[in-house]
């Protein structure tokens, strides 16, 4: 859980740094936003997998497919909440941040939102596929 929290904080700080700096071209050229959303989904899934294990919902006897659906669903829900917060931040603070600091905050267009949610989902799915593998047989 500590590893997941560490990486989630690191992803958040990288995002803040890139938004505050004047190197916005890196976002567009190298698709850093997609990488951050993908890794955010991956590490959020890691966090919730560990959280479920500590709640004994994720005990070895519970079906792996059930755990996978819970973890991916919670991760996607957090991605949706994040996109709503970007929308609200743009509505409330967008003009102020642009006028005061020249920073363009925070919301992209619909294509950006959909690709962000897709990357969140793919990151969580990759984590569950490699670390939970719901379709692997227990006794081959």
End-to-end CA distance of the chain: 30
Q: What is the pLDDT of residues 92-107, one digit of tens each?
A: 887 777 777 766 666 6
Whole-prediction pTM: 0.78
How far is it between the farthest Cα atoms of the chain?
63
| Higher per-residue confidence, 9 vs 100 | 9
Q: What is the pLDDT of residues 60-88, one digit of tens each?
A: 566 778 888 999 999 999 999 988 988 88
């Amino acid at each position: 859980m500590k590893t997941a929290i560490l990486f989630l904080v690191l992803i958040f700080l990288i995002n803040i740094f890139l938004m505050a700096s004047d190197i916005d071209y890196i976002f567009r050229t190298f698709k850093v936003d997609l990488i951050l959303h993908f890794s955010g989904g991956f590490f959020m899934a890691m966090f919730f997998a560990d959280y479920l294990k500590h709640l004994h919902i994720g005990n070895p006897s519970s079906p792996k497919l059930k755990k996978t659906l819970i973890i991916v669903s919670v991760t996607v829900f957090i991605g949706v909440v994040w996109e709503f917060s970007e929308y609200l931040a743009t509505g409330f603070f967008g003009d102020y941040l642009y006028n005061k600091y020249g920073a363009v905050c925070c919301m992209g267009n619909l294509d950006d939102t959909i690709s962000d949610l897709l990357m969140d989902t793919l990151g969580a799915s990759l984590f569950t596929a490699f670390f939970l593998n719901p379709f692997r047989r227990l006794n081959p």
